[in-house]
């Protein structure tokens, strides 16, 4: 996989938990913080986003919201709302069913599941309240964190990434939003297979739009992992590590991939990624190993070899330093617990 696709693999376990919500004003619903990333798209109408320490933000038709570290937030029909009803249990119960994207109806102080008839087409502008047409329709979800530390790109993102509908009109993001909206409103054969993949695709387009467009307007543009992806040399080196984590990489060889001397490459890489090249290699090897332990039944010795460790003992020690668990215990926990409880312990350094 390419680097941006690999970022998605580090932010989730399994499929995203997602729901389509029909909002009937007045409403104010609180979404608690989660150990992962959240995303949301406005399919109809508009709503207000309220987060602590920030001005209320109005989200309109086609706007996309991405919370890379699962920040707590409030969605409301009014910018002056306070408190809000926590409907996380209703959401959690709904998304554990057979429907990949269940529909909920939310209004003043309550939320309940809804059997889905064919919904309004993407872009419908009729609004209302009560039992009539909803004043807003959104689709959103969350990914559970699958690593002890977030990928550098996710770590440097703002806690709230707002992609207005007008941004990225020359890119594929609006097309992905429209396709998702139409698929959710059509109830057509094959939708249960398509929709989870469309949600994955949506997050990739959000990150791509940030790297290619929004990042330029942020303080510190030119630095950070987004800057590394736009630097041809450093990007080539990172791509090489991701494609072959088991290779015995040296700073000099990575510098050759980047077309730079060893010293120049090390300085540029460290300034952009905020860690040394070999520290990043180690982190990516262990992050890849964690995914293999969750998803495959290969012996631990085989996993160690596939990520560049000739000694299972050395691999086990490095893995425990990063995740706080031995490889065997991590795998057992991933099997025994629900996906939302897969261990993501801060590294003990």
Residues 248, 147, 336, 326, CA torsion sign? positive
Count CB neighbours of 231 within 10 A. Answer: 17
Buried b (16+ CB within 10 A) or exposed e, 260-274: beeeebbebbeebbb
The whole-number pLDDT of residue 129 equals 44
CB 6, CB 242: distance < 8 Å: yes
**What does the mean pLDDT of the chain come to?**
81
The whole-number pLDDT of residue 145 equals 64
The whole-number pLDDT of residue 298 equals 94
Q: Which two tokens stand for residue 267?
A: 């300085």
Q: Given pLDDT bands bounded at 50, 70 and 90, which one contains residue 281?
A: very high
Q: Given pLDDT bands bounded at 50, 70 and 90, which one contains residue 335?
A: confident
**What are the tens digits of pLDDT across the range 125-173?**
444 444 678 999 998 888 776 555 677 788 888 899 998 887 655 668 8
Nearest CA-CA partner of 253 in 236, 275, 268: 236
Report CA-CA distances (Å) from 145 to 42, 191, 239: 24, 26, 22
Does the pTM of the predicted model rise above 0.85? no
Q: Is residue 241 scored above 90 in pLDDT?
A: yes
* The residue to which tokens 């109408």 are assigned: 45
Q: Indicate the burial class of 223 (C-beta count within 10 angstroms; 0-12, 13-18, 19 or more).
A: middle
CB 139, CB 24: distance < 8 Å: no
The whole-number pLDDT of residue 345 equals 42
Q: Is residue 343 scored above 70 in pLDDT?
A: no
Please tell me the distance from the alpha carbon of residue 242 to that of residue 245, in angstroms, as a whole number: 6
**What are the tens digits of pLDDT across the range 63-83?**
999 998 889 999 999 998 777
The whole-number pLDDT of residue 165 equals 84
């Amino acid at each position: 996989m390419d680097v941006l696709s690999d970022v998605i693999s580090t932010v989730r376990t399994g499929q995203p938990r997602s729901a389509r919500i029909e909002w009937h004003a007045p409403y104010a619903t609180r979404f608690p913080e989660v150990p992962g990333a959240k995303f949301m798209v406005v399919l109809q109408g508009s709503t207000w986003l309220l987060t602590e320490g920030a001005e209320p933000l109005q989200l309109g038709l086609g706007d996309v919201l991405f919370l890379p570290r699962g920040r707590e937030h409030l969605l409301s029909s009014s910018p002056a709302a306070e408190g809000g009803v926590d409907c996380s249990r209703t959401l959690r119960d709904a998304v554990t069913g057979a429907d990949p994207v269940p529909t909920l109806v939310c209004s003043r102080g309550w939320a309940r599941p809804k059997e889905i008839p064919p919904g309004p087409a993407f872009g419908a502008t009729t609004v209302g309240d009560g039992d009539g047409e909803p004043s807003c329709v959104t689709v959103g979800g969350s990914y559970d964190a699958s690593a002890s530390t977030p990928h550098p790109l996710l770590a440097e993102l703002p806690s709230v990434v707002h992609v207005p509908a007008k941004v990225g009109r020359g890119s594929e993001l609006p097309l992905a939003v429209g396709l998702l909206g139409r698929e959710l409103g059509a109830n057509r054969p094959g939708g249960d297979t398509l929709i989870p993949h469309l949600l994955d695709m949506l997050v990739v387009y959000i990150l791509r739009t940030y790297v290619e467009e929004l990042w330029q307007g942020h303080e510190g543009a030119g630095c950070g992992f987004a800057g590394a992806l736009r630097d041809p040399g450093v990007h080539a080196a990172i791509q090489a590590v991701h494609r072959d984590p088991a290779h015995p990489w040296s700073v000099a060889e990575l510098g050759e991939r980047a077309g730079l001397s060893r010293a120049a490459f090390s300085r540029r890489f460290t300034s952009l990624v905020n860690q040394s090249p070999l520290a990043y290699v180690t982190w990516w090897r262990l992050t890849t190993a964690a995914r293999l332990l969750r998803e495959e039944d290969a012996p631990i010795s085989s996993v160690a070899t596939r990520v560049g460790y000739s000694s299972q003992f050395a691999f086990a020690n490095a893995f425990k330093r990063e995740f706080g668990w031995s490889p065997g215990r991590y795998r057992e926990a991933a099997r025994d617990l629900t996906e939302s409880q897969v261990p993501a312990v801060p590294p003990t350094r």
